[in-house]
């Protein structure tokens, strides 16, 4: 995954997030759910059964190991990279802000310095996109009617879109793309997200008490209609449980605790 991210000829780029840990956690949950589903109907329902002696009991589940690694969890996210190599000998390389073999899909800078991502790779979407950009010549070019042709002219198409995007502020640009039914969106910082109308309307961020203050956290996802989740506790304040752990778990006496406080140990 790191090999594929970055710009051609430059050092590989890692995402500034611990994606491997997250992917492993998700795969562990998926594996656990699959193991639960793999139980027999009697095991799942806890139905009464009789053993060979005729004594009634309940179906006993035999567990199984859910084997998950960070390496393989990331590997599982690599889409068609292995078949491309195995079937055609193609090693997918870094492609900057684009996606290999899909044109146009890229990130563009608007007049006010913000960035938007545009996905105009569907044949009909491409025509609408180019018309919205005032490039009817490209919209009507038979050589660009399908993705294979557009891949050959990727630089020309990207330049046309970059030039157009640079003439409009991001909000106006996104409004025009929306009117043309072209998939597009802003590249959001966390500050943008915390005031974005979509995130707010979806209640994607929840407020949770934290001592005498309130902290905003990502809301639980996915959402369940009958048993929705929420965050009841944001965690302890720094050092909140230090004394109780020392007293109750490690049997430190009051005199020693007082000494540690005076010396700055606590």
Q: What amino acid positions are annotated as catalytic residues?
A: 21
Whether the CB-CB separation of 86 and 142 falls below 8 Å is answered with: no
Cα angle 117, 122, 127; round to 5 = 90
Residues in the chain: 266
Token couple for 196 = 């974005």
């Amino acid at each position: 995954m790191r090999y594929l991210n970055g710009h051609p000829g430059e050092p590989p780029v890692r995402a500034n997030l611990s994606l491997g840990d997250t992917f492993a956690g998700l795969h562990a949950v998926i594996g656990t759910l699959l193991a639960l589903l793999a139980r027999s109907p009697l095991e799942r329902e806890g139905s009464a059964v009789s053993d060979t002696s005729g004594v009634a009991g309940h179906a006993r589940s035999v567990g199984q190991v859910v084997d998950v690694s960070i390496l393989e969890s990331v590997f599982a996210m690599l889409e068609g990279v292995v078949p491309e190599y195995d079937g055609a000998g193609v090693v997918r390389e870094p492609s900057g802000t684009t996606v290999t073999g899909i044109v146009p899909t890229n990130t563009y800078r608007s007049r006010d310095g913000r960035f938007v991502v545009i996905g105009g790779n569907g044949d009909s979407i491409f025509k609408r996109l180019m018309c919205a950009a005032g490039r009817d010549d490209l919209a009507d070019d038979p050589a660009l009617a399908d993705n294979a042709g557009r891949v050959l002219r990727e630089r020309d198409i990207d330049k046309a879109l970059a030039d157009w995007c640079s003439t409009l502020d991001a909000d106006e640009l996104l409004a025009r793309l929306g009117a043309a039914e072209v998939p597009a969106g802003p590249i959001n910082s966390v500050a943008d997200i915390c005031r974005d109308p979509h995130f707010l309307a979806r209640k994607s961020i929840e407020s949770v008490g934290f001592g005498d203050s309130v902290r905003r956290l990502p809301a639980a996802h996915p959402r369940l209609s009958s048993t929705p989740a929420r965050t009841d506790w944001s965690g302890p304040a720094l050092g909140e449980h230090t004394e109780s752990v020392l007293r109750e778990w490690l049997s430190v006496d009051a005199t020693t605790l007082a000494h540690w406080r005076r010396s700055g140990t606590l």
